[in-house]
Structure 1
Amino acid sequence: MARKIGSRYTANQILGRGSAGTVWLGEGPEGPVAIKLLREDLASDQELVGRFVQERTALLGLDHPNVVAVRDLVVDGNDLALVMDLVRGTDLRTRLDRERRLAPEAAVAIVADVADGLAAAHAAGVVHRDVKPENVLLDMQGPLGPGGAHPALLTDFGVAKLIDSPRRTRATKIIGTPDYLAPELVEGLPPTAAVDIYALATVLYELLAGFTPFGGGHPGAVLRRHVTETVVPLPGITDELWQLIVQCLAKAPASRLRASELAARLREQVPMLTGMPPLDVDEPDAEPAEEPSYDAVVPGERATARERRGSVPLVPGAKPDSNRDTHTSMRVPAPDELAGGARGTARAPRAAGAPRPGSARHRAQTRRRRLVLGAVTAALLAVVGVGAWLATSDADDGQPPATRNSAPASP
């Protein structure tokens, strides 16, 4: 049933439902649009409406081929809506559910597109905060890229920030989707652009493996793994690609690449991945042990071992809806709840003025250090070699070094 959204738009058909609201196929003055109508309880929150209006300029200013453009923000009575470009295609989750995992060439091409979109957003001061396959749309009408990948566009910018208002969640709460949450968010630190890089690296791992690196079982267990566990290697991919994934999943935010760096380095990998089939890897079993609840704000059923990782129904007794939106709010775990079994999780803060790990300046500096170390080592070996030769010569003539080859004393 059609309904008016403001004075300029008409919502005609529901495309999907999520935790924040409903997405409609709509019509505007310039043709078809997608309209995300936020929940009524969100629309009635005056503080959130104020934040919504404040975000208007930033959201409308995001213009990039790999970002679903926000055309308008509507505040009209009980209606609070984002009007966006309509992308003719599907979301990445739907493709992943159908194929389970993608060929490395296609996976890398899709993630490189998303990284380009994030680079534009970060340059504008916008952090997405909820990067996941559900929020990546594949444009089926766009030109095919490497591995037959359709152009990828990132959507739902600003939704996580709108929901995470000070009155609705406190500093002791986490807003996000458990499988893709950066460890600093689990520990209660404020979000920066680095959280998007961590989430995007998690998506890349999932596209390659068919499962996320730290997912499985109860959401509380997932949060703990982000902080305490190291990522398990994926067999069958190039060392260079694996090192990119490891670096972007670093526990320390400063160790991760910037979005623009990640996009460029992923595209360097594409020629080496041409023709490579999807990986043949097994999904690890979910932990059977009971996990602490971490005070999930919205009740949901316990996930089984074979359920999609991080799936938390946001309506009591409901199954994940057609949009599979698992955005949730949970209490930040206490240090003792995260303790135990830590492997390589120490943070490595970067000194002021030091190059970002993995950057061109960092790699050049590393090469210079290696060259200097090699030269010093060669010089030391030369000195040791000369000393050994002298000692051998002394032993051969049986004379002390001070008298050997000296003139005979005068009578």
Structure 2
Amino acid sequence: MARRIGSRYTAHQILGRGSAGTVWLGEGPEGPVAIKLLREDLSSDQELVGRFVQERTALLGLEHPHVVSVRDLVVDGNDLALVMDLVRGTDLRTRLDRERRLAPEAAVAIAADVADGLAAAHAAGVVHRDVKPENVLLDMQGPLGPGGSHRALLTDFGVAKLIDTPRRTRASKIIGTPDYLAPEIVEGLPPRAAVDIYALATVLYELLAGFTPFGGGHPGAVLRRHVTETVVPLPGIPDELWQLLVQCLAKAPASRLRASELAARLRELLPLLAGMPPLDVDEPDTDQPEETAEELSGAAPAAGRPVRRGAVPLVPGAKPSDSNRDTHTSMRVPAPDELAGGAHGTARAPRAAGAPRPGSARNRAVTRRRRLTLAVAATLVTAAAVGTWLATTEDTPPPPRDQKNSAPATP
């Protein structure tokens, strides 16, 4: 059923749904458009609406071949909507779900397109803050690029910033998608352009491997890995590409490339990747809550073998889940002691081989068994001591009577 959006647009058909709202195929004065209608709870937030209007100039002024342009912002009653260019195609997540991983040449070409879009945004003073496959659209009607890739366009600029209002999140909260969050965001620092580079490098890793470098399990565990763990190498890709990934996944923001530098470096690598098939790598096992033997011993995993990701709760009171790709997940900023340890190749409290990770379900089970064993042992020792005392008491003859009182009377 068609519905009016403001006075100039009509929404005809739902194209997709996301955590921030619903995308409709619409019609405007200049032809077909995509209309992102934000959730009703967002449109009822007057503070957010005010920021929405304030961001109007920045969002409308961002135009680039690899950015989905925002044509208009509509605030009308309960409707809060972004009117955008219509891209005839699909999003990168849908392609990943279908193909699992891409050939290196196509993956790098897509990442280079996104880096070009980010370079334009950063030059305009706009940080995306939520770069992930769901926010990358593929233009299926345009010409094919290297490796048979479709032109990639980055969308949803400003949405994370709009939703991240002080009243909704405060300084102790994190807004974003855990798999792609840069370490500095996890540590509570303000997001700069470098967070987009980290997220894009994570996306490129995922396009190549079929999984993100630090994902899997409870979102709190994912956040901790971003801060403490080093990225697991991918076998079968040129060293130049791997070093580029490592640099852009650096924990220190200043060590990462700028978007324009990353785009140029990626395009330089395309001839080297021509004809390479998709990588054949093992997928991490995220179904098991326990660690691998390598994690238990503190040893680094074998080259090219991903680490099994356990569900390690970091946020008290939360239940383990696999919803770490949800957009705009809100969690508190972990304390420093919660982020300490747990990294391969970084500082971690040593433990004996086979010992469970502190705080894990296995650790708690071992602790309970140990306490029960000690309690039973203490009970047995006490029972044995009492039994010994009783037996000794029964076998001991009564003490002699006092000689003075027991002596026979003298006539």
The C-alpha deviation readout for 1:40-66, integer Å capped at 9, x for no partner, is: 111111111111011000000001000
Cα distance in 2, alignment partners of residues 172 and 136 from structure 1: 29
Partner of 2:363: none
Q: 1:52 to 1:153 in 2, by over 3 A?
A: same
The offset of 1:310, in angstroms, is 2.1
Q: 1: distance between equivalents of 2:256 and 2:346?
A: 14
- Structure-to-structure mapping, 1:150-189, within 5 angstroms: 150-189=150-189
Q: One-letter code of the match for 1:22? A: T
CA distance in structure 2 between the partners assigned to 1:288 and 1:301 by the alignment: 10
Q: Aligned AA for 2:120?
A: A
Relative to the length of structure 2, the TM-score reads 0.77
What is the TM-score of this pair, normalised by structure 1? Answer: 0.77
Cα deviation per residue 1:66-103 (whole Å; 9 max; x = unaligned)?
00000000011111100000000000000011000000
Residues in 1 aligned to 2:39 and 2:314: alpha-carbon distance in whole angstroms: 26
What CA distance in whole angstroms lies between the structure 2 residues aligned with 1:345 and 1:5? 53
Structure 2 contact 142–151 (Cα < 8 Å) conserved: yes
Q: Please report how far the alpha carbon of residue 343 of structure 1 lies from its aligned counterpart in structure 2 after TM superposition.
A: 4.9
SS at match of 2:167: coil
Asked if 2 retains the 8 angstrom alpha-carbon contact of 1:108 and 1:270, the reply is yes
Distance in 1, matches of 2:226 and 2:151, equals: 30
Contact 2:70 2:84 in 1 (8 A): yes
Structure showing greater Rg: 2
- In structure 1, the residue matched to 2:66 is 66
Partner of 1:214: 214
1:295/1:121 CA distance change after superposition, 3 Å: farther
Give deviations 1:376-396, integer Å, cap 9, x for gaps.
Answer: xxxxxxxxxxxxxxxxxxxxx
Q: 1:63 to 1:345 in 2, by over 3 A?
A: farther
* Residue pair 1:177, 1:310 contacting (<8 A) in 2 also: yes
Which secondary structure state, in structure 2, belongs to the residue aligned with residue 329 of structure 1? strand
What is the aligned partner in structure 2 of residue 407 from structure 1? Answer: none
Matched AA of 1:262: L
1:31 deviates by 0.5
The corresponding residue for 2:19 is 19
Listed as ranges, the matches of 1:72-87 within 5 Å are 72-87=72-87
1:100 corresponds to which residue? 100
2:129 is the counterpart of 1:132: no
Q: One-letter code of the match for 1:292?
A: P
Distance 2:168 2:275 in 1: 49
**Contact 1:198 1:248 survives alignment (8 Å):** yes
Residue 338 of structure 1 corresponds to 339
CA contact (8 A) 2:182 2:195 kept: yes
Matched, 1:141 2:149: no
Where does residue 197 of structure 1 map in the other structure?
197
Q: Which residue number corresponds to residue 273 of structure 1?
A: 273
Letter matched to residue 32 of structure 1: P
- Cα separation, partners in 2 of 1:219 and 1:266, compared to 1, 3 Å: same
**CA, structure 1 residues 277+269, in 2 after alignment: closer, same or farther (shift >3 Å)?**
same
Residue in structure 1 matched with residue 315 of structure 2 by the alignment? 294
| Residues 166-211 of structure 1 deviation map (CA, whole Å, 9 limit, x = unaligned) | 0111111000001000000011110000000000000000000000
Distance (Å, rounded) in 2 between the aligned partners of 1:174 and 1:192:
14
CA shift for structure 1 position 243? 0.4
Question: How far did 1:285 drift?
Answer: 1.9
Structure 2 unaligned segments of length 5 or more: list them: 291-310, 348-411
| Partner SS for 1:168 | helix
> C-alpha displacement at 1:114, in angstroms?
0.2
- Partner Cα distance (1:37, 1:275) in 2: 41
Distance of 2:103 and 2:158 partners within structure 1: 31
Alpha-carbon distance between aligned partners in 2 of 1:345 and 1:255, rounded to the nearest angstrom:
18
* Stretch deviating more after TM superposition (56-65 or 283-292): 283-292
Aligned to 1:389: none
Post-superposition offset of 1:19: 1.2
Moved >3 Å (runs of 4+): 342-346
CA distance in 2, matches of 1:111, 1:295: 36
CA contact (8 A) 2:312 2:320 kept: no
Shift of 1:344: 5.7
For the pair 1:327 / 2:341, whether they are aligned, the reply is: no
The alpha-carbon deviation at position 253 of structure 1 amounts to 0.3
Equivalent residue number for residue 318 of structure 1: none
CA distance in 1, matches of 2:230, 2:260: 25
The amino acid that maps onto 1:95 is R
d(CA) in 2 for partners of 1:122, 1:220: 29
Indicate conservation of the 8 Å contact 1:227/1:345, yes or no: no
**2:251 corresponds to which letter in structure 1?**
K
Q: Is residue 33–residue 84 contact of structure 2 (8 Å, CA) maintained in 1?
A: yes
Shift in CA distance, 159/97, structure 1 to aligned 2, threshold 3 Å: same
Measure how far apart 1:291 and its partner are.
Answer: 2.2
- Please state whether the residue corresponding to 1:33 is helix, strand or coil: strand
Q: Is the 8 A contact 2:314 2:334 kept in 1?
A: no
Matched, 1:264 2:264: yes
Show the counterpart of 1:90: 90
Number of residue-to-residue matches in the alignment: 326
Q: Is the 8 A contact 1:129 1:191 kept in 2?
A: yes
The 3 A distance-change label for structure 1 pair 295 and 30 is farther
- Residue 311 of structure 1 deviates from its aligned partner by 3.8
Identical aligned pairs, as a percentage?
Answer: 88
Contact 1:251 1:345 in 2 (8 A): no
In the alignment, residue 104 of structure 1 is paired with which amino acid? P
Any idea what the Cα deviations from partners look like across 1:242-271, whole Å, max 9, x if unmatched?
000000000000000000000000000000
Distance 1:237-1:231 versus aligned 2 partners, 3 A rule = same
Q: Over residues 91-124 of structure 1, what are the superposed CA-to-partner deviations in whole Å (9 max), with x where a residue is unaligned?
A: 0000011000000000000000000000000000
Say which SS state the counterpart of residue 200 (structure 1) adopts. helix
Q: Residue type matched to 1:302 in 2?
A: S
* Partner amino acid, structure 2, of 1:135: N
Are 1:247 and 2:247 counterparts? yes
What residue in structure 2 maps to residue 116 of structure 1? 116
